[in-house]
Structure 1
Amino acid sequence: MEPLKTNTHIWDKNNSWSEELEFLKSIIAKTELIETTKWGGCVYVLNGKNVIGIGGFKNYFTIWFFNGVFLKDEKQVLMNAQEGVTKSLRQWRFSSKDEVDEKAVLQYIHEAIENEKQGKNLKPEKEKSIVSELLQKELDADVNLAEAFLKFSPYKQKEFLEYIETAKREETKRSRIEKIKPLILENISLNDKYR
C-alpha cells in the first residue's frame, strides 16, 4: 500500500521547514491567538479575524502579519511580498531557525494582536460605479430596454457598462450599445454569447 501523499501548496512546495515551523508554532502558542487552517496554511486568528500566518517557501520560511503595515517594525525586518499589489500584509522571512529571536517575534505578534483589538486594518477599496450616460439615455428612451436591463444581476449590468465605457471614442461606444441592445432584450448577458 502506497503511503498517503501530503498535500503541498505553492507556498509549501518542499515541506523542508517542518522543524522551523514547529518552532514558530511553539512561540505563537504563548499568545492568545487560535490556530486555524485557511487556504491550506496555518493562520492564527483573534475573534475570527486573521492576525498572522506561517509557511514554508523554497528558500525561506516566514511569519506574515495580515495587517503588518500598522506595525512599528523597529527592527526593520518586515517586507512587502508583492510591492504595489499587497497593501497591508507584511512578511518576516527566515532562512534558519537560528535567525528566529523568540522575544522579538513575540513583541511583533503582541503588537499585531493589540492592533487587531483596536480595529486597525485597511478596508478594501470600494470599486467606483461605472456610469454610461449614453446607455442611460437609451434606457430612458426605451422602457422595454430599461426593464430588461434591470433583470440582470448587478455584476452582469457592470459587464455591459464596462464593455461600453472601455471604448475611447464616442462612436465606438454608440456602436457597442447597438450591439448589446438585442442581447439585453433577449436576456443574454454579455459573456453568455461566448459560452
Structure 2
Amino acid sequence: MTTGRLNPKVDGFLGKAKKWKEEFEKLRDIVLDCEELTEEFKWMHPCYTFENKNIVIIHGFKEYCALLFQKGALLKDTHGILIQQTENVQAARQIRFTTVQEISEMETILKAYIHEAIEVEKAGLEVNFKKHTEYIIPDEFKHKLDVNPALKTAFEALTPGRQRAYILYFSQPKQSKTRVSRVEKYMQQILDGKGLND
C-alpha cells in the first residue's frame, strides 16, 4: 500500500472515529491493497472509486460496521455474505462485521469481492431498477386515485422517482388510518406537481 494513495480526509475521519476505529483501519488496508481504486471521502465516509465510479464504501452503524458495494446486487456472492439493508434497496449490498478478527479472517474473500466489483464496473454493468409500476400502491392511496381523477393525472405526471417516494412513504405505516392521513396530508402537494421532499 502506498501512502500517496491515502486521502487526508479519510485520515481525519479515522482520527475522529471512536467506534469501529480498528475495524475501519483494517478495512481500509484491505481495500487499498486492491490496486486500481482511488480513496475518496463522500457522504462523510471513506469511498473507493474506479474511474470516478463508486465501488465500495466503508461505514459504521450502532451494531456493526460494513463494506457497502454500490452495485452489490450484481456480484455473484459465492459465500452468501452480502446483505440487502432493506427491501427497498435495489443495488447496494453490505458485508457486515463486528470485530477486527472477523475482518482479518475474511480478508481473501473480501479482496475477491472487491475485485469482482471492479470487474462489474469495467464491464459497464448496470442494476435494473424496478419501475414504480412494480411497487404495490397501498389501497388507501389507490382509492383516492380512483375517486379523484385530477389526483391520478397529477400523480402520473410526476417523475418515476417522485412516484416511488410517495408509494414507499404511504406504504410504510402498519395501520390503515395512518396511511390514510399521510395520503390526505400530501394530496395537495401531488396536485401541485411536487415530490415528497420538494
Q: TM-score normalized by structure 2? A: 0.58
The 5-angstrom pairing of residues 117-156 of structure 1 reads: 117-124=122-129
C-alpha RMSD of the superposition: 3.0
1:86 is aligned to: 89
Shift of residue 125 of structure 1? 5.4
Q: Deviations over 1:7-43 (max 9, x none)?
A: 99xxxxx731011101110111112111111111111
Tell whether 2:102 aligns with 1:103: no
Matched residues, number: 131
Picking from 78, 81, 86, the partner of 1:74 is 78
2:145 is aligned to: 167
CA distance in 2, matches of 1:107, 1:79: 17
- Structure with the largest fraction of helix: 2
Gaps of 5+ in 1: 1-6, 9-13, 129-165, 178-188
3-state SS of 2:33 partner: coil
Q: Deviations over 1:49-91 (max 9, x none)?
A: 1110011111111001111111111111111011x20011110
Q: Are residues 19 and 64 of structure 1, via their aligned partners in 2, closer, same or farther at CA, if it must alter by over 3 Å?
A: same
Contact 2:45 2:59 in 1 (8 A): yes
Give, as a single letter, the amino acid of the residue that structure 2 aligns with 1:55. H
CA distance in 2, matches of 1:124, 1:111: 20
Q: Deviations over 1:80-113 (max 9, x none)?
A: 011x200111100011011112111101100110
Shift of residue 190 of structure 1? 2.8
Q: Bigger radius of gyration, 1 or 2?
A: 1
2:45 is aligned to: 41
Picking from 14, 17, 22, the partner of 2:20 is 17
CA distance in 2, matches of 1:65, 1:90: 5
2:68 is aligned to: 64
2:163 is aligned to: none
* Runs of 4+ with >2 A deviation: 123-128, 172-177, 189-192
- The sequence identity of aligned pairs, in percent, is 32
3-state SS of 1:105 partner: helix
Shift of residue 167 of structure 1? 3.3
Gaps of 5+ in 2: 1-11, 134-143, 154-190
3-state SS of 1:26 partner: helix
Q: Are residues 107 and 176 of structure 1, via their aligned partners in 2, closer, same or farther at CA, if it must alter by over 3 Å?
A: closer
